[in-house]
Amino acid sequence: MFSEILGGGFQLGSLVMVMEDGEAPHHLLLLRNFMSQGLIHNQPLLYASPSKDPKLFLGTLPSPILSKDEKGSRMETEQEKGLRIAWQYKKYFGENQQNNENRRDTRKEYGNEFDVRKPLKVPSLGAQGIDCFSILDSSNLIAFRDRCSTFLAKVPRNDKGIGCAGRIAIQSLCAPQCGFSDTDWDMLSFIRLLKCLLRSSNAVAVITFPASLLSPSLSKRWQHMADTLLSVRAIPDEDKDLANLLTGYQDMLGLLHVHKVAQINTQVPVILDANTFSIKLQRRRSLILERLNQAPVDGSSGTSYGTSSSCSASLDF
């Protein structure tokens, strides 16, 4: 799981930044899983993007894949509707069903796998604490800063439980259509302020940005501000050298590189088993991350022996 890759997942109060690849939108796969993981657990969400109507992006969020226990419970519910049993036995049937549901709840894990082919049924924006904001409406980032401050004030650090945790997802903060090319220091100040607000809140923020659009010095400053820093990169379709070097190259969509992992309130560094992982779609629906493995010396294809993990579970707190 991605939580294992990062040594425990995204820490509450941390700022996660993902460097985009201009040739492929792989960063959107991570962002969608991050948002869906929070929505299915009824966590408040603030989503911001440079599009005119960011609400439309909610319709592209993936739906969770049901486990065997959840599928069994649904089948039992459907069978119960079709059964006609004597009234004196219904109470026993209900008690057994409730006991089975309680046992399933105790075994239920927080992480979920998602099916990228099935959209998530998102409730109304006001009913679940979902807030969408267009960065185009904030020419100097003041309105956006106030919106983030108001959102984080609703999830203070003294709240307990993951259900009270909030999530902020910001897509392509320095996109050209935002018009922030002449406000480098304003964007840096916004990131610094957001990081300070996160420290005293029960929330996590994920920001994706195209590093190629920033100057080298400003890009380094952005990367330094991140608690957890990731980058995604597309894989060329006809890279014969890379195909001979890596196992399962044909199934790879891209690469995920972990540059830095959050180390908040600890003096023990997080030592990762690997820093670069391949991005794959299992059965064309479930996003997985797999450790890179070197192909056999003779160049023949073989099965991968590295540990794989679901990206959806990676977004655990």
Please enumerate in sequence order all residues whose Cβ is within 8 A of that of 113, keeping only pairs 6 or more positions apart, or say none.
64, 65, 286, 310, 312, 313
> Poorest-confidence range of 19-28, 43-52, 136-145, 157-166?
157-166
Mean pLDDT taken over the chain: 77
Question: DSSP labels for the chain?
Answer: -HHHHTTSSSPTT-EEEEE-BTTB-HHHHHHHHHHHHHHTTT--EEEEESSS-GGGGGGGPEEEPP-HHHHHHHHHHHHHHH----HHHHHHHHHHHHHHHHHHHHH--S---EEEEEE-----TTTTTEEEEEGGG-TTSHHHHHHHHHHHHTSBTT--SGGG-EEEEE--TT-GGGT-TT-HHHHHHHHHHHHHHHHTBSEEEEEEE-GGGS-HHHHHHHHHH-SEEEEEEE--TT-HHHHHHBTTGGGEEEEEEEEE----S-SS----S-SEEEEEEETTTEEEEEE--BPPTT-------S-EEEHHHHT--
Give a yes or no: residue 132 inside a domain.
yes
Report the phi/psi class of residue 248: left, alpha or beta, with left for phi > 0 and alpha for psi in -120 to 50. left
Give a yes or no: residue 72 inside a domain.
no
Q: What domain count does the chain have?
A: 1
With vertex at residue 187, the alpha carbon angle to CA 184 and CA 193, rounded to the nearest 5 degrees, is: 140
- For the cut 50, the answer to whether the pLDDT of residue 262 exceeds it is yes
- For the cut 70, the answer to whether the pLDDT of residue 311 exceeds it is no
pLDDT at 209: 93
**Segment 41-51, tens digit of pLDDT:** 888 999 999 99
Which range marks the domain in which residue 222 is found?
Answer: 7-64+111-291
> How far is 258 from 250, CA to CA, in rounded Å?
22
Give a yes or no: residue 317 inside a domain.
no
State residue 290 phi and psi, 5-degree precision: -130, 135
Give a yes or no: residue 17 inside a domain.
yes
CA distance readout (Å), 308 to 3, 14, 185, 205, 270: 12, 25, 40, 25, 19
> Poorest-confidence range of 152-156, 168-172, 236-240, 305-309?
305-309
- For the cut 80, the answer to whether the pLDDT of residue 122 exceeds it is no
> How far is 58 from 132, CA to CA, in rounded Å?
9
Q: What would the mean pLDDT of 239-252 be, rounded to a whole number?
A: 72
CA dihedral for 274, 275, 278, 279, sign (positive or negative): positive
**Segment 85-115, tens digit of pLDDT:** 554 555 555 555 555 555 444 444 556 788 7
Confidence label for 227 from pLDDT (cuts 50, 70 and 90): very high
Give a yes or no: residue 94 inside a domain.
no
pLDDT at 160: 62
Q: Is the separation of the CB atoms in 257 and 274 below 8 Å?
A: no
Q: Percentage of the chain with pLDDT > 90?
A: 29
Confidence label for 308 from pLDDT (cuts 50, 70 and 90): very low
Radius of gyration, CA atoms only, the chain: 22
Give a yes or no: residue 85 inside a domain.
no
Give a yes or no: residue 311 inside a domain.
no
Q: Is the separation of the CB atoms in 155 and 203 below 8 Å?
A: yes
> How far is 249 from 258, CA to CA, in rounded Å?
20
Q: Is the separation of the CB atoms in 252 and 271 below 8 Å?
A: no
**Segment 158-204, tens digit of pLDDT:** 766 666 789 999 999 988 888 776 788 889 999 999 999 999 999 99
Select the more confidently predicted residue: 159 or 233.
233
- For the cut 90, the answer to whether the pLDDT of residue 149 exceeds it is yes
Q: What is the CATH number of the domain that holds 269?
A: 3.40.50.300
pLDDT at 113: 81
Read off the pTM.
0.78
Q: What would the mean pLDDT of 56-80 be, rounded to a whole number?
A: 67
Give a yes or no: residue 99 inside a domain.
no
pLDDT at 105: 46
